[in-house]
Amino acid sequence: MKFLIIKPSSLGDVACAMPVVALIKERYPDASVDWLVNKEYAGLAKAAGADRVLVIDRQAWKKISSWPKALFNYLGVAAKLPFQHYDYTIDLQGLLRSGIFTALSNAKKAIGFADGRECSPIFYDTKVVVNRKLTHSTLCNLEVLKEIGIEKGEKWPSFAPTDTQSTLDKFCLRKKDFFIAVPLTRWKSKNWVPESIAAVGRELKARHGWQGVLVGGNDAKEVCAEVCAIAPDVFIDLAGKTDWSQFLALSAEAVCAVTPDTGPMHVMAAAGTPMIAVMGPTDPRRHGPYGDCSKVLQSKRRCLPCYHRDCVLGEEGKPSLCMADITPEMVLDAVEELLKELNNKEENA
């Protein structure tokens, strides 16, 4: 049996789709699963267990000079699809371009969301009804899998690499002796206060001796440097220095993580990292970390969830009011409570 998953982006949504591959292979051990994904997330598709990753280079469209390359890439992928003899194509994106790829795959059965945008549902044989505006992305994906006879298994898949030690050695870290902090998101309103991140790091190191590890892309280098300047002996800065395999390895071996609502949060959730999610303008029911290894902290302001990229009530250039409401003490208490709960769970298992 041959499957094609279409989920090109975004980072958080790709991470939430990672269990789909494992659950298909658990139900159908001889299945072959391909994944069509944006180039920057190909590593996650591989880590999820996809047998073949079909890469589209969306970034190439951003420069006019690279349009020929982008067009060649898209046409190349499109030309291969009709000859792969897929039994099922599962479109988890729900946009026109993903719908077109679904049609080109010529699968025996095409499955997608009934509320897909840009007329994408016209390309599906089976349209799955789920309110994606109020439902976590992972749960939406599980609803789709029911159409091919798959229910959520008792054991949730984990995506930690088999070899994590090489990554730890590269960055001079020890297992369960460090915590991860994510200081930057794409929305200003979702960023936590750098001084608060530093304060949490100082206290965790004082209490437990844990090393702090700052992660993010190249765009996070400035804020990571700011946090390191506030707490110079607490953190090491790995912004822009890890690939997805290394990031999954770090996530699997970290004792915990402190993170806002951002794509790496969902990647860490896929790796089973215990985490404290500091959330602001978005709804935790839809965008929070999936699973039982996390605690969510959110302000009780009446304006939430507002889904504004910039706080309309706060001062320009300062953290959003709802994120500033979450204090280092609240995060530290949540860390201790979460780890105690997980230890009790292990002892009673």
Once rounded to an integer, what is the mean pLDDT over residues 58-75? 90
d(Cα 262, Cα 166) in Å, to the nearest integer? 26
Is the peptide bond prior to 10 cis by the omega test (within 30 degrees of 0)? Answer: yes
207 Cβ neighbours under 8 A, 6+ residues apart? none
Across the range 257-273, mean pLDDT stands at 95
Domain endpoint, select from 148, 173, 189: 148
User: Residue 140: what pLDDT?
Assistant: 94
Note whether 189 and 335 are same-domain residues: yes
Q: 266 lies in a domain?
A: yes
Per the CB < 8 A criterion, the answer to whether 145 and 111 are in contact is no
Identify the pLDDT of residue 344: 87
- Report yes or no on 155 lying in a domain: no
Residue 159 lies in a domain: no
Is residue 153 one of the residues assigned to a domain? no
- Tens of pLDDT along 151-205? 876 567 778 787 899 999 999 999 999 999 999 999 999 999 999 999 999 999 9
Let me know if residue 127 belongs to a domain: yes
Same domain membership, residue 193 and residue 128:
no
* Average pLDDT over every residue of 220-226: 96
64 shares a domain with 23? yes
- The enclosing domain of 75 has a CATH number of 3.40.50.2000
Cα(160)–Cα(179) distance, integer angstroms: 16
* Same-domain pairing of 197 and 323: yes
Evaluate whether 143 touches 159 at the Cβ level (below 8 Å).
no
pLDDT of residue 298: 98
Q: What percent of the chain has pLDDT over 70?
A: 99
Q: 18 and 128 share a domain?
A: yes
- In the 8-state DSSP scheme, what is residue 60? G
Same domain, residue pair 247 and 100? no
The mean pLDDT of 132-151, rounded to a whole number, is 92
- How large is the average pLDDT for residues 45-72? 92
CA 208 distance to own-chain centroid: 28
CA–CA separation, 31 vs 34, rounded Å?
A: 10
Encode pLDDT of 277-332 as tens digits. Answer: 999 999 999 999 998 889 999 999 999 999 999 999 988 888 899 999 999 999 99
Question: What number of other Cβ atoms are within 10 A of residue 162's Cβ?
Answer: 6
Whether residue 307 sits in one domain with residue 189: yes
Q: What is the pLDDT of residue 348?
A: 77
Residue pair 27/150 in contact (Cβ under 8 Å)? The answer is: yes
Q: Measured at the alpha carbon of residue 332, what is the angle toward residues 328 and 335, in degrees to the nearest 5?
A: 140
Residue 268 has a pLDDT of: 95
As beta bridge partners, residue 278 has 260, 297
Query: Residue 20 is part of which domain span?
Result: 2-148
- What is the band of 347 on the pLDDT scale with cuts at 50, 70, 90? confident
Question: How many structural domains is the chain composed of?
Answer: 2
Q: Domain end: 99, 117, 148, which one?
A: 148
pLDDT score at 160 = 75
Q: How far is CA 211 from CA 32, 37, 163, 266, 268, in A?
A: 41, 34, 21, 22, 18
Q: Which of 81, 114, 148 is the last residue of a domain?
A: 148
Two structure tokens written together for 176: 């369960």
| Residue 51 and residue 137 share a domain | yes
pLDDT band at 149 (very low <50, low <70, confident <90, very high): very high
Q: Are residues 79 and 204 in the same domain?
A: no
339 and 246 fall within a common domain:
yes
- Give a yes or no: residue 157 inside a domain: no
Q: What is the DSSP letter of 212?
A: E
| DSSP per residue, 144-207 | HHGGGT----SS------S--HHHHHHTT--TTSEEEE----SSGGGPPPHHHHHHHHHHHHHH
Taking only the tens place, the pLDDT of each residue in 97-130 is 999 999 999 999 999 999 999 999 999 999 999 9
Q: Looking at residues 15-34, what average pLDDT do you find?
A: 95
Is 281:259 a contact under the CB 8 Å cutoff?
no
Q: Are 297 and 328 found together in one domain?
A: yes
Beta bridge partners of 33: 3
Is the bond preceding 251 in cis, omega lying within 30 degrees of 0? no
Q: Is residue 154 part of a domain?
A: no
Q: What is the mean pLDDT of residues 339-349?
A: 84
Q: Name 297's bridge partners.
A: 278
Within this chain, do residues 254 and 140 fall inside the same structural domain, yes or no?
no
Query: Is residue 304 included in any domain, yes or no?
Result: yes
Residues 90/6, Cβ–Cβ less than 8 Å: yes
